[in-house]
């Protein structure tokens, strides 16, 4: 037999291990753990961690630049005095400066002089800062085309009738984890009724659960549109891109009822 | 008996930090890449995870889990926290970057693979629907609500599968044996 609060304890431990807890849940968990000292706060977190190792590919090394950066952080953390900065996570100590009577008597003059300098600085004519123009999506796409690892492939229409008039392409750089879709003839949609959603099938991802590549809408029919890809997870090696029509806001997993375009990247 | 890397870090031994990077760098990077939207975000996460590891090194208990599992737990805790923040504020933008690669450490991978093999074996004791839900939660980083939406199961059923699945696997892996856990799993 298990009591309701025991069930609740296990639920909170499992929630913590898989999706985290908010503050009230965290407090509730601590209270329940006091009633059940046989359980440890991290028991199910350790189990989830052990499980996640089962499907983890650890063949890719930590990037050298990141390793250097972590070591620099370690130096500051473990030896803050030598590194000349406060320890990470700890506030810098504020040391009171002993003001002499002489300094106090001169302080008024210093303040007055500083005020004059500040006033002169503020009155001095300064050139208006020039804001560099924001590159267009077409510019950004052109820049991405220079990437040596670029994958580029044309969209292929599916059997869906409205897909027949659509063409365009998709580009993706695995190194940059960035890409763009280009369409001509993609029908405009009413975003309160439906949206377009990109799916990225990846070599390391279960085919049932392709990576969400982002949701978008088309406001003007007929124009060429360029849409940036916003992959929600890291894409190792894309095997297929697919465009579906989904409910407003997009979905977590597509039923693929309305698959309109696909693009298969070239195999390398 | 030789001290573990985390015990040495807890004692403030500087060389242990390098050893920690050599031993667990790939693992932490792989987890960060798996559960982050882009490499730049993964890099930020790695920095935070290592700081968390140094802060919590003294809490590592070899009786409770292997050091690899403890490191993975600290990493996942930080990554889940970051996912929750992104879900609350979905405006976060990716900043991708190319990165150089240092050499491999095969001995480390063997240790991690041993833990991984035990975990993969343990997964098979679960019913298929429990496996599916746990895989979505742990390997894909789905929230329970997202799992409910994608599988058509009720949120309550998703939570039950996750809770019972984790308790069962914990028992199989022998993270710690508990009579109370056994009681829970008898109803599976």
pLDDT of residue B102: 34
pLDDT class for B156, splitting at 50, 70, 90? very high
Fold designation for B1-105: Rna Polymerase Sigma Factor; Chain: A (1.10.1740)
- % residues pLDDT > 90 (chain B): 40
Instruction: Determine the Cα–Cα distance for residues A117 and A87; give it in Å rounded to an integer.
Output: 36
Q: With contacts defined as CB-CB under 8 Å, which chain A residues touch B140?
A: 205-206, 209, 233
- Chain segment B75-121, per-residue pLDDT in tens: 999 999 988 887 666 543 333 333 333 333 444 455 556 666 777 78
Within this chain, do residues A141 and A259 fall inside the same structural domain, yes or no? yes
Residue A66 scores a pLDDT above 80: yes
Instruction: Copy the structure tokens of residue B167.
Output: 């308790």
Q: Which residue has the tokens 């019972």?
A: B164
B81:A20 CB<8 A: yes
Q: With contacts defined as CB-CB under 8 Å, which chain B residues touch A74?
A: 14, 17, 50, 54
**Beta-carbon count within 10 A of B84 CB:** 15
Domain boundary among A22, A39, A55: A55
Establish if A117 belongs to a structural domain.
Answer: no
Domains in chain A: how many in total? 2
Q: With contacts defined as CB-CB under 8 Å, which chain B residues touch A11?
A: 159, 163
- Chain segment A158-178, per-residue pLDDT in tens: 888 878 788 899 999 988 888
A14:B36 CB<8 A: no
Establish if A125 belongs to a structural domain.
Answer: no
pLDDT class for A89, splitting at 50, 70, 90? very low
pLDDT of residue A104: 43
Is the separation of the CB atoms in A60 and B125 below 8 Å?
A: no
Three-state DSSP at A162 gives: helix
Residue extents of the structural domains in chain B: 1-105, 124-188
Q: Which among A50, A64, A175 has the least Cβ separation from residue B69? A: A50
pLDDT of residue A105: 46
Is the separation of the CB atoms in A204 and A257 below 8 Å?
A: no
Mutate which of A19, A43, A180 to test chain B, going by most B C-beta atoms within 10 A? Answer: A19
Does B112 reach chain A within 8 Å, measured CB to CB?
A: yes
- Chain segment A15-60, per-residue pLDDT in tens: 999 999 998 999 999 999 998 888 888 889 999 998 888 778 788 8
Dmax (CA) of chain A: 88
pLDDT class for A223, splitting at 50, 70, 90? confident
Is the separation of the CB atoms in A223 and A187 below 8 Å?
A: no
Instruction: Determine the Cα–Cα distance for residues A124 and A257; give it in Å rounded to an integer.
Output: 65
Q: Which residue has the tokens 């250097």?
A: A68
DSSP state letters, A12-48? HHHHHHHT---HHHHHHHHHHHHH-TTS-TTHHHHHH
Establish if A119 belongs to a structural domain.
Answer: no
Establish if A144 belongs to a structural domain.
Answer: yes
Better-scored residue on pLDDT, B171 or B159 = B159
Is the separation of the CB atoms in A38 and B177 below 8 Å?
A: no
Instruction: Give the residue numbers spanning the domain of A40.
Output: 4-55
Establish if A113 belongs to a structural domain.
Answer: no
Give the helix, strand, coil percentages of chain A, each rounded to 5: 35, 20, 45
Establish if A16 belongs to a structural domain.
Answer: yes
Does B125 reach chain A within 8 Å, measured CB to CB?
A: no
Establish if A225 belongs to a structural domain.
Answer: yes
Task: Give the pLDDT mean for A177-187.
Answer: 91
pLDDT class for B122, splitting at 50, 70, 90? confident
Better-scored residue on pLDDT, A257 or A9 = A9
Does A17 reach chain B within 8 Å, measured CB to CB?
A: yes
Establish if A216 belongs to a structural domain.
Answer: yes
Does A110 reach chain B within 8 Å, measured CB to CB?
A: no
φ, ψ of residue B141 to 5 degrees: the values are 70, 25
Within this chain, do residues A50 and A151 fall inside the same structural domain, yes or no? no
Q: How many CB pairs under 8 A join A and B?
A: 244
Instruction: Determine the Cα–Cα distance for residues B103 and B118; give it in Å rounded to an integer.
Output: 27
pLDDT of residue B104: 37
Instruction: Given the cut 0.90, state whether the ipTM is greater than it.
Output: no
Does A21 reach chain B within 8 Å, measured CB to CB?
A: no
pTM, two decimal places: 0.58
pLDDT of residue B110: 54
Instruction: Determine the Cα–Cα distance for residues A22 and A17; give it in Å rounded to an integer.
Output: 13
Non-local CB neighbours of B45 within 8 Å, separated by 6+ positions:
B32, B35, B36, B78, B79, B82
pLDDT class for A241, splitting at 50, 70, 90? very high
pLDDT of residue B41: 87
How would you classify residue A210: left for phi > 0, otherwise alpha for psi between -120 and 50, otherwise beta?
beta
Instruction: Copy the structure tokens of residue B66.
Output: 């292997």
Query: What mean pLDDT, rounded, does chain A reach?
Result: 80
Fold designation for B124-188: Arc Repressor Mutant, subunit A (1.10.10)
Q: Helices (H), strands (E): how many in chain B? A: 9, 0
Instruction: Copy the structure tokens of residue B184.
Output: 């829970």
Residue B24 scores a pLDDT above 60: yes
Within this chain, do residues A142 and A251 fall inside the same structural domain, yes or no? yes
Q: Note the residue count of chain A.
A: 268
Mutate which of B99, B122, B168 to test chain A, going by most A C-beta atoms within 10 A? Answer: B99
- % residues pLDDT > 70 (chain A): 78
Within this chain, do residues A145 and A259 fall inside the same structural domain, yes or no? yes
Q: Which among B38, B99, B138 has the least Cβ separation from residue A52? A: B138
Task: Give the pLDDT mean for B18-46.
Answer: 90
Choose the weakest-confidence range: A59-63, B38-42, B174-178: B174-178
pLDDT of residue A256: 85
């Amino acid at each position: 037999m298990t009591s309701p609060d025991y069930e609740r304890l296990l639920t909170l431990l499992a929630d913590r291990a898989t999706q985290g807890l908010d503050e009230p849940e965290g407090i509730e968990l601590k209270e329940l753990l006091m009633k059940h000292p046989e359980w440890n706060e991290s028991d199910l977190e350790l189990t989830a961690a052990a499980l996640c190792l089962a499907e983890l590919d650890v063949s890719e090394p930590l990037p050298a630049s990141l390793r250097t950066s972590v070591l620099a952080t370690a130096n500051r953390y473990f030896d803050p005095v030598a590194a000349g900065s406060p320890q990470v996570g700890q506030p810098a100590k504020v040391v009171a400066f002993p003001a002499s009577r002489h300094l106090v008597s001169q302080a008024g003059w210093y303040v007055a002089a500083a005020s004059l300098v500040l006033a002169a600085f503020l009155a001095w004519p300064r050139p208006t800062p020039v804001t560099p123009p924001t590159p267009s999506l077409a510019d950004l796409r052109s820049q991405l085309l220079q990437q040596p690892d670029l994958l580029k492939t044309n969209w292929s229409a599916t059997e869906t009738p409205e897909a027949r008039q659509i063409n365009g392409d998709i580009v993706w750089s695995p190194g940059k984890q960035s890409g763009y879709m280009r369409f001509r003839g993609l029908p405009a949609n009413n975003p309160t009724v439906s949206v377009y959603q990109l799916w990225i099938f990846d070599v390391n991802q279960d085919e049932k659960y392709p990576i969400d590549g982002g949701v978008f809408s088309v406001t003007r029919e007929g124009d060429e549109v360029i849409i940036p890809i916003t992959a929600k997870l890291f894409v190792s090696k894309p095997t297929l891109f697919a465009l579906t029509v989904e409910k407003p806001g997009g979905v977590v997993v597509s039923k693929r009822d309305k698959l309109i375009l696909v693009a298969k990247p070239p195999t390398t | 008996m030789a001290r573990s890397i985390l015990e040495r870090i807890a004692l403030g031994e500087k060389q242990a930090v390098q050893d920690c990077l050599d031993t667990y760098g790939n693992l932490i990077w792989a987890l960060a890449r798996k559960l982050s939207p882009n490499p730049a975000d993964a890099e930020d996460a790695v920095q935070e995870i290592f700081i968390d590891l140094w802060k919590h090194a003294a809490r590592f208990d070899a009786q409770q889990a292997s050091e690899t599992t403890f490191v993975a737990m600290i990493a996942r805790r930080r990554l889940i926290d970051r996912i929750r923040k992104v879900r609350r504020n979905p405006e976060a933008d990716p900043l991708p970057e190319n990165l150089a690669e240092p050499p491999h450490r095969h001995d480390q991978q063997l240790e991690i693979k041993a833990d991984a093999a035990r975990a993969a074996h343990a997964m098979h004791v679960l019913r298929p629907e429990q496996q599916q839900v746990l895989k979505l939660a742990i390997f894909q980083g789905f929230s329970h609500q997202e799992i409910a939406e994608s599988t058509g199961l009720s949120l309550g059923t998703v939570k039950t599968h996750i809770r019972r699945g984790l308790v069962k696997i914990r028992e199989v892996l022998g993270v710690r044996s508990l009579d109370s856990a056994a009681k829970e799993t008898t109803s599976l």
